[in-house]
Amino acid sequence: KAGVTQTPRYLIKTRGQQVTLSCSPISGHRSVSWYQQTPGQGLQFLFEYFSETQRNKGNFPGRFSGRQFSNSRSEMNVSTLELGDSALYLCASSLASTRGTDTQYFGPGTRLTVL
Amino acid sequence: GQQLNQSPQSMFIQEGEDVSMNCTSSSIFNTWLWYKQDPGEGPVLLIALYKAGELTSNGRLTAQFGITRKDSFLNISASIPSDVGIYFCAGLGNAGNMLTFGGGTRLMVKP
């Protein structure tokens, strides 16, 4: 079974631009979560999508948004990029069979650099 | 946001030695997960724990879900050079499908 895939793997943008990252979950997985990883803050939860609906949201500004499609693929968008948005963005998928017990599997991440 | 307290932050050991790391939290969790991350890659799941007191092994790795549901540990026996990487604990509570991560343990193995 193919794992979680993320595209692109690397991205360089300038301040003020916007960016869209894509994630394809493991086949059959219905939940997709997004995380930001930086050296200073570690791994932080951005949001989770299940059945095309945002189910949970972390403490990030409204510039960070996402969506999920009917095939469970998800996209994350960051508008008006800031230097501090430079990070590894990770997507994780899970079956979402039971809330609070799901095992999440991560993709390789998208390395975003904002200049 | 809330983070798990993971220790030690780093370890430099000799090949063949055993390694132990742990995570503690002020909140209870329903699931504890342990991941390993190599540079530039996403975390890879090592062990998942779903029940308080559960002890689970995966090859040379053994992890336990603490009885209080507020802690977990990971042991690696007979370390080898490919064990090098950053190990993260993560907890899943009642606040939906949202993982809370520890700060990571950087493991270095000297051949």
pLDDT tens for residues A26-85? Answer: 999 999 999 999 998 899 999 999 999 998 899 999 999 999 999 999 999 999 999 999
Per the CB < 8 A criterion, the answer to whether B14 and B55 are in contact is: no
> CB distance A101–B101 less than 8 Å?
no
Number of H helices, E strands in chain A: 0, 11
Token duo for residue B67: 């009885």
pLDDT tens for residues B2-13? Answer: 579 999 999 999
The nearest CA of chain A is from the CA of B48 a distance in Å of 7
Distance of CA B24 to the CA centre of its chain: 11
Identify the weakest region by mean pLDDT among A30-44, A84-98, B55-69.
A84-98
pLDDT tens for residues A12-41? Answer: 999 999 999 999 999 999 999 999 999 988
Interface probe, candidates A104, A110, A111, A113, chain B, greatest B C-beta count within 10 A = A104
Per the CB < 8 A criterion, the answer to whether A87 and A64 are in contact is: no
